[in-house]
Amino acid sequence: MVMVVTSATHSSPFLTFSSPSSSLSRPSLRYAVLGAGFAGLSVAWHLLRESAKDLNIRIDIYDEIGIGGGASGISGGLIHPYSPKAKLLWKGAECWNECLKLLGVAEAAEASMDSGQLNSGISDFDPNLQGLMVRRRGILRPAVSMKNMLLLSDNARSCLSSCRIETLEKDAVQNLAPNLCLPLNKAFYMPEAVNIHPQRYVQALYTACKNLAKELSASGVGEKELHLHKKNVNKLTDLEGEYQAVIICLGAKADMLPELAGRIPLRTCRGVVAHLKLSDDMGEEYPETGPSILSDAWLAIQGPRSLYMGSTWEWKSRNSSPNVSASESSQALDELLPKACAIYPDLNKWSFAGARAGLRAMPPLTAHGSLPLMGCVNDIVGESKGCKYWLFAGLGARGLLYHAWLGKLMAQAVLACNEQLIPSELTSWRKGTQ
User: What DSSP line would sit under 87-132, residue for residue?
Assistant: PBPTTHHHHHHHHHHHHHHHHHHHHT--HHHHHTTTTTT-TT--S-
Mention every residue, 6+ apart, whose C-beta is less than 8 A from residue 220: none
CA-based torsion, 9, 381, 358, 361: positive or negative: negative
Burial level of 191, CB count in 10 A (0-12/13-18/19+)? middle
Contact 344, 249 (CB under 8 A): no
Distance from C-alpha of 406 to C-alpha of 423, rounded to nearest angstrom: 9
Distance from C-alpha of 201 to C-alpha of 219, rounded to nearest angstrom: 27
What is residue 283's predicted lDDT score, i.e. its pLDDT?
75
Distance from C-alpha of 50 to C-alpha of 408, rounded to nearest angstrom: 8
Q: Is the pTM of this model over 0.85?
A: yes
Distance from C-alpha of 121 to C-alpha of 14, rounded to nearest angstrom: 37
Q: Which domains does the chain have, with CATH numbers?
A: 27-70+198-265+364-430 (3.40.50.720)
Local structure of residue 82 (DSSP, 8 states): B
Give the angle subtended at the CA of 159 by the CAs of 76 and 178, to the nearest 5°: 55
360: part of which helix (H) or strand (E)? strand 351-362
Local structure of residue 219 (DSSP, 8 states): T
Terminus-to-terminus CA distance in the chain, angstroms?
Answer: 48
Q: Report, in this order, helix, strand and coil percent for the chain, each rounded to 5.
A: 35, 25, 40
Distance from C-alpha of 392 to C-alpha of 405, rounded to nearest angstrom: 12
Mention every residue, 6+ apart, whose C-beta is less than 8 A from residue 100: none
Q: Tens-digit pLDDT profile for the chain (434 aa)?
A: 223 223 333 333 333 323 333 223 567 899 999 999 999 999 999 999 999 999 999 999 999 999 998 899 989 999 999 987 778 899 999 999 999 999 999 999 999 887 555 555 444 445 444 568 999 999 999 998 888 888 888 888 888 999 999 999 999 999 999 999 999 999 999 999 999 999 999 999 999 999 999 999 998 889 999 999 999 999 998 888 889 999 999 999 999 999 999 999 999 999 999 999 998 887 789 999 999 999 999 999 999 999 999 999 999 999 999 999 999 999 999 999 999 999 999 999 999 999 999 999 999 988 898 999 999 999 899 865 666 999 999 998 899 999 999 999 999 999 999 999 999 999 999 875 33
